Amino acid sequence: MANAKGLALVEYDEDGVAKAFRADVLEGLAQEPKAIPARWLYDDAGSELFEAITRLPEYYPTRAETAILRERCADLRRLIAPGRAVVEFGSGSSVKTPLLLECIEPAAYVPLDISGDFLRAAAADLAEKFPGLPVHPVEADFMQPVRLPEAVGTLPKLGFFPGSTIGNMVARTAVDLLRSMRQTLGGDALLLIGMDLVKDVAVLVAAYDDAQGVTAEFNLNLARRINRELGGTIPLDKLRHVACWNDTYGRIEMHLESLDDIEFEISGRRFALARGETIHTENSHKFDRRSQYTLLLAGGWTPVERWLDENGQFSLILAEATRPRNAP
Ligand code: AVJ
């Protein structure tokens, strides 16, 4: 398929999405321990709840990363020459993306997202804020290498992947993504990536189990979505949101825990959860400097500079595509 601009597009029609959702849920609940891929948390309601999460007092990552972008503009300008095409993985945050684009004098902006609706809305918003800046949205699954629009073909690229979204992935998936990014962006690319840091467990758990219960709503929305879209009969009042620190893997895990022995149906199939059993719904990996460097290097990116916010809670890293060379 090609769109009006002649870009190669993979079609993500509603039918395909519904089928993939059903397949992931049925498969995930048939396995032990039960788990559902986190991407299904982000339907319209889930995305709005996540927006609300970013404003919670306990949820520091968004504020901390935004502060780094504000405070480090001079550093970013020094290290990122004007004239790069900024390629954002995800359709962009209304606050962080303008901060970056204002700072570095880019030649173009290319948001990549699998969800065309969010993508077009965010791209239109940005184009309005930056009248002189060419904006080329691309609807694509960026977990695979993406062919970028011809209009930015010859420009050097800066990948932008804020929010510690990389932390949602287990190591091998994160490395696959970093390698795909390198292929998408080319051998002379830079990557600006946000990564959350290991810290006091109480602070971490509070960020994912807030006092107002917004994160609980966000998590439970997945079960609600299953009931609505897949003909599910999950008793929502028998599930509770749990956020816990997994010290082995260095991550916060979100689960839906059953308060009782329950049985329910989804798309005509029967499932049971014992009291205390959980459905694992999201991982959010936290890093230290060495684990960050190992991950980036494994994905083909050499760290150039690393900034923390003033409280040392969150990090933003600039990396360059690793040049092929002999190494001992
Ligand atoms: C969007 C993946 C970065 O892991 O902090 C926030 C998602 N989940 N609260 C994160 C999330 C629950 C968030 N990311």
Confidence of residue 328 (pLDDT cuts 50, 70, 90): confident
Smallest CA separation from ligand 1 atom 12, residue = 208
Tokens of 76: 């970013």
Give distance in angstroms: CA of 203 to centre of ligand 1: 14
Ligand 1 contacts CB of residue 281 (under 6 A): no
3-state secondary structure of 263: strand
Smallest CA-to-CA distance from 209 within 198, 199, 217 is with 217
The count of other CB atoms within 10 Å of the CB of residue 261 is 12
Per-residue model confidence (pLDDT) at position 12: 54
**Residue 184 or 3, more confident:** 184
Mean pLDDT throughout 197-213?
Answer: 98
Ligand 1 atom closest to Cα of residue 163: 3
Give distance in angstroms: CA of 229 to centre of ligand 1: 23
Asked whether residue 10 carries a pLDDT value surpassing 80, the answer given is no
Q: For a pLDDT cut of 70, what percent of the chain falls above it?
A: 96
Average pLDDT across the chain, whole number: 94
| Residue 242 CA: distances (Å) to CA of 30, 132, 216, 258 | 21, 46, 8, 10
Smallest CA separation from ligand 1 atom 9, residue = 208
Rounded Cα gap, residues 277 and 255, in angstroms:
9
Mean pLDDT throughout 75-104?
Answer: 95
Give distance in angstroms: CA of 284 to centre of ligand 1: 6
- CA gyration radius, the chain: 20
Mean pLDDT throughout 135-147?
Answer: 95
The count of other CB atoms within 10 Å of the CB of residue 262 is 17
Per-residue model confidence (pLDDT) at position 297: 98
Ligand 1 contacts CB of residue 220 (under 6 A): no
Give distance in angstroms: CA of 131 to centre of ligand 1: 31
| Length of the chain measured in residues | 328
**Residue 9 or 321, more confident:** 321
Asked whether residue 32 carries a pLDDT value surpassing 80, the answer given is yes
Per-residue model confidence (pLDDT) at position 312: 98
Q: Is 213 left (phi over 0), alpha (psi -120 to 50) or beta?
A: left
Give distance in angstroms: CA of 254 to centre of ligand 1: 10
- pTM for the complete prediction? 0.94
Checking DSSP bridges between strand 262-266 and strand 269-273, what pairing results, if any? antiparallel
Give distance in angstroms: CA of 112 to centre of ligand 1: 19
Tokens 């991550």 sit at which residue? 251
Per-residue model confidence (pLDDT) at position 9: 44
Give distance in angstroms: CA of 167 to centre of ligand 1: 8
Ligand 1 atom closest to Cα of residue 282: 8
Per-residue model confidence (pLDDT) at position 2: 41
Mean pLDDT throughout 68-90?
Answer: 98
Ligand 1 pocket test, pick from 59, 161, 214, 282 with the greatest ligand atom count within 8 Å of Cβ, gives 282
Give me the torsion for CA of 307, 38, 101, 107, rounded to 10°: 120
Smallest CA separation from ligand 1 atom 14, residue = 165
Checking DSSP bridges between strand 157-161 and strand 190-196, what pairing results, if any? parallel
3-state secondary structure of 290: helix
Asked whether residue 296 carries a pLDDT value surpassing 50, the answer given is yes
Ligand 1 contacts CB of residue 221 (under 6 A): no
Per-residue model confidence (pLDDT) at position 13: 67
Asked whether residue 11 carries a pLDDT value surpassing 80, the answer given is no
Ligand 1 contacts CB of residue 162 (under 6 A): no
Per-residue model confidence (pLDDT) at position 94: 83
Give distance in angstroms: CA of 252 to centre of ligand 1: 10
Checking DSSP bridges between strand 108-113 and strand 138-139, what pairing results, if any? parallel
CA angle 276, 50, 289 (to 5 degrees): 85
Three-state SS across 79-124?
A: HCCCCCEEEEEECCCCCHHHHHHHHHCCCEEEEEECCHHHHHHHHH
Backbone phi and psi for residue 148, each to the nearest 5 degrees, phi listed first: -80, 160
Ligand 1 contacts CB of residue 215 (under 6 A): yes
DSSP string covering 297-315, please?
HHTTEEEEEEEE-TTS-EE
Mean pLDDT throughout 224-240?
Answer: 97
Ligand 1 atom closest to Cα of residue 218: 12
Confidence of residue 4 (pLDDT cuts 50, 70, 90): very low
Q: Give the rounded distance of the alpha carbon of 238 from its chain centre.
A: 29
Please, are residues 196 and 64 in contact by the beta-carbon 8 Å criterion? no
Give distance in angstroms: CA of 186 to centre of ligand 1: 28
User: What residues contact residue 203 under an 8 Å CB cut-off, 6+ apart?
Assistant: 60, 313
Asked whether residue 5 carries a pLDDT value surpassing 70, the answer given is no
